[in-house]
Amino acid sequence: MTSPERSHTCWDLAVAVAVHHAGGGKLARQPVNHEIFQVSTMSALVEGILDGDTTYDEVMRHGDFGVGTFNALDGEMAAFDGDFFHLFGDGSVAPVSPDELTPFCAVTFFSGDAEIDITESTSRDDLLALVDGTVPSENLFYAIRIDGMFSHVTTRTVVRQSKPYPSLLRASGNQVENRLDQVSGTMVGFRSPQYVQGMTVPGYHLHFVDSERRRGGHVLDFAIESGVALIDRDVDIHLELPTSEQFLRTPMNADDVEQQIEAAENVSHSG
């Protein structure tokens, strides 16, 4: 049996060695093209770990494009062209302030490798099937950007939670849903492999911001009339794990994590 003191000492040593090998830690890292930088995991959100210790100032150094949320689950984040938007539960949109903290987000430096022109009315499922048919493998990550005129976009926006924090599934039960009709704007996000269950959202995870930068949220459904979808293949992923006591001590072995992520991310709760 290992004594707590002994394992603590070994852990400190392991951390010290890792930091030394990384050449001084986080600040030494340079932005890498085709790399996704992700903060924390979906499993942690599912368990109600809704406060992170990573600032958006740090996140912005690792990408100009992506999706995420904020501490206390206070709204959705969407970023593209280096502009980071904070989409609040009351429907308002504000620029992300660099000192805001995130419990979960994923960003990359976006550059389109493939393009799909949309010239006729296309449903979400049909467009995503087209993207599926374009990507070279199910087993890589892709950043997806869709600009265009949408006949409708159904979004939801999580709202600020208070402590003690509920699970993601309970928190998403009182999310605000919104249907935008005949709206132009930009949809951003990722297509992730099925094997990342628990780490991120498998399949598509998309957020929307309208052209006026006044409305948006996490995308549940849409149909697009015309536009362009760009696909950026990402071949590396950097996972920035929290070091909070809550993250370190919370068991993350829920055997229904797959269903909880699906229900929280993809299911409309207003019927």
145 or 218, CB closer to Zn ion? 218
Distance of closest approach, residue 105 Cβ to Zn ion, in angstroms: 10
Q: Which two tokens stand for residue 236?
A: 């590396």
The C-alpha atoms of residue 255 and residue 232 are separated, in whole angstroms, by 32
32 or 199, CB closer to Zn ion? 199
Residue 86 binds to Zn ion (criterion: CB under 5 A): no
What residue number has its CB nearest to Zn ion?
218
9 or 268, CB closer to Zn ion? 268
Q: Which of residues 191-230 bind Zn ion (CB under 5 A)?
A: 218
Q: Are 68 and 105 in contact (CB under 8 A)?
A: yes
CB atoms within 10 A of CB 167: 17
For 165, which DSSP code?
P
Distance of closest approach, residue 207 Cβ to Zn ion, in angstroms: 6
Q: Count H helices and E strands in the chain, helices first.
A: 7, 15
Distance of closest approach, residue 196 Cβ to Zn ion, in angstroms: 15
Q: Which two tokens stand for residue 1?
A: 């049996």
168 or 231, CB closer to Zn ion? 168
Q: Are 91 and 159 in contact (CB under 8 A)?
A: no
In this structure, what is the dihedral angle of CA atoms 138, 144, 148, 150, given to the nearest 10 degrees? 60
Distance of closest approach, residue 77 Cβ to Zn ion, in angstroms: 8
151: left (phi over 0), alpha (psi -120 to 50) or beta: alpha
Give the count of residues interacting with Zn ion (CB under 5 A). 1
191 or 218, CB closer to Zn ion? 218
Distance of closest approach, residue 218 Cβ to Zn ion, in angstroms: 4
124 or 218, CB closer to Zn ion? 218
Which residue's entry shows tokens 């995991």? Answer: 41
Q: Are 259 and 42 in contact (CB under 8 A)?
A: no
Distance of closest approach, residue 189 Cβ to Zn ion, in angstroms: 7
Site string for Zn ion, 232-271 (x = CB under 5 A): ----------------------------------------
| Interface residues toward Zn ion, by CB under 5 A | 218
